[in-house]
Amino acid sequence: GLYNLDQELVSFDDYKGKYSILAFTFTSCPSICPMTNTEFNRLEKKYGDQINLVAINVDPVNDTPEKIKQYMNDNSYNWDVLIGDMNEVETVIGDILEYPDSERYIESPANHPPGLHLMDKSFTYTNKNFFPIEQDVDDLMLELDKLLVK
């Protein structure tokens, strides 16, 4: 399974009942992850605990829980980061997101799927994936605004 930064086992059932945004990140990622973090920050500021923001770390070799906690604190980021071995990460990519050839996404941390994945209230992937740039995430926000009034 996957664990939170306090090394407690996490179940995706814990996220049911709210819409969730799922992304894959690692602290030394030069490009996509900082963009993802910027957009997660925007989502967090706008929606707070109306939604779940969930980042799955893809660099278990270099990113210890302590290192990730420090990184989150240094940047004042406030969302869940889940950790586990790459087989667990591949399971999420293959079984939950239903990406074909899921093993190729874990060959190196840089191969992680880049998008923000919109999950429904039962933590099922909606097949809506937003690139972490402002205009795409604006579309995601429009989508969330519609979903949250229901």
User: What pLDDT shows up at residue 35?
Assistant: 97
Confidence of residue 100 (pLDDT cuts 50, 70, 90): very high
C-alpha 107/C-alpha 32 separation (Å) is 17
User: What pLDDT shows up at residue 13?
Assistant: 97
pLDDT at 150 over 80: no
Q: What distance, in Å, lies between the first and last C-alpha atoms of the chain?
A: 32
Q: Walk across the sheet containing 116-119 and list its strands.
A: 80-82, 52-57, 20-25, 116-119, 125-130
Average pLDDT over residues 23-34: 95
Task: Name the nearest CA neighbour of 36 among 50, 48, 26.
Answer: 26
Confidence of residue 74 (pLDDT cuts 50, 70, 90): very high
- Per the DSSP assignment, residues forming a β-bridge with 72 are none
pLDDT at 42 over 80: yes
Contact assessment for residue 132 and residue 41, using Cβ atoms and an 8 Å cutoff: no
- Per the DSSP assignment, residues forming a β-bridge with 18 are none
E strand or H helix at 81, and its extent? strand 80-82
Average pLDDT over residues 59-76: 97
Longest CA–CA span in the chain (Å) reads 42
Burial class (CB in 10 A: 0-12, 13-18, 19+), 147: middle
pLDDT at 12 over 80: yes
pTM of the model: 0.96
Contact assessment for residue 149 and residue 51, using Cβ atoms and an 8 Å cutoff: no
